[in-house]
Amino acid sequence: MTNTLHRYGPAESFRDDYIVFAMCARGKNDKNAVPKLRKFLEMAVPFKPVNLGDAIHGGALRPSQNMNPTAHWNRDASLDFQAVIDGVDSLTTAAAVFDNRVAAEDFVMALKEADLGLSINISTSVDGAEQCCYAAGIPRHSVGYSLGFEGKTEKLPAADVLAVSTMCGHGMVSHSLAKKMIDWVKEGRRTPEQAAGYLTRFCSCGVFNPARAARLIESAACGKPWSE
């Protein structure tokens, strides 16, 4: 089970969204797991992830308490992967987010060779996950499905807003903020990349995908089908 199952959209919309997790089970494979989790994150960097995450401390873009009214215009938006790696100091869930299947496949193959002794979970479309397993020469162990939204779905935000905000499965990216970012891009007040960067900082576990977010925001702002 992973909170990334809540990501909204048809299978095709996850073509640039691959999350590879590493975790351990207490009392099973948690002995000396902290350096192994750091190693997992270090191994991901050469494959050019768009985000790294530590479920306790956050991702490669984080909020800051040292802000002023002009900060949004000159704030450093570079991804700090080393801060994520160095911050792993206890048992956690580590994650690497990729915007293409080839990188995810290559990373999974490298993990198979490294045999870190951690549990590995791939979150994307079912077909995409199976392709990653096939490339690494390993069988899929199990699969988890999200049953979607039930009830008064007419009260949900628009589909393009949901597709962006649900990339934080813990609900730290609000629907209203996602809609605001789409509107700002539509008005020319921010670029899709800037808007995606703002949203990425709110994801407390670091699995928000800024590349997919920028694509979805740009499509929504231009009136194009967001799911294509």
| % pLDDT > 70, the chain | 97
Task: Give strand pairing partners of 115.
Answer: none
Distance of CA 154 to the CA centre of its chain: 27
Structure confidence by residue, pLDDT tens digits, 43-64: 999 999 999 999 999 999 988 7
pLDDT at 1: 57
pTM for this predicted structure: 0.92
**Residue position matching structure tokens 């921010």:** 190
Residues 6+ apart with CB under 8 A from 211: 16, 50, 99, 196
**pLDDT interval class at 164 (50, 70, 90):** very high
pLDDT at 173: 94
* CA-to-CA dists, residue 96 to 60, 133, 138, 189, angstroms: 10, 16, 19, 30
Distance separating the N- and C-terminal Cα atoms of the chain = 27
Mean pLDDT within 172-188: 96
For helices 192-200 and 175-186, the axis angle rounded to 10 degrees is 160
* CA-to-CA dists, residue 170 to 65, 173, 174, 213, 224, angstroms: 21, 8, 10, 16, 28
Structure confidence by residue, pLDDT tens digits, 6-50: 899 999 999 999 999 999 988 888 889 999 999 999 999 999 999
Q: Which helix (H) or strand (E) holds 124?
A: none
Q: Which of 161, 173, 182, 137 is nearest to 227 (CA)?
A: 161
**Residue position matching structure tokens 């990425």:** 200
Structure confidence by residue, pLDDT tens digits, 199-227: 999 998 999 999 999 999 999 999 887 76
Structure confidence by residue, pLDDT tens digits, 94-148: 999 999 999 999 999 999 999 999 999 999 999 999 999 999 999 888 888 888 8
Residues 6+ apart with CB under 8 A from 36: 22, 24, 116, 117, 118
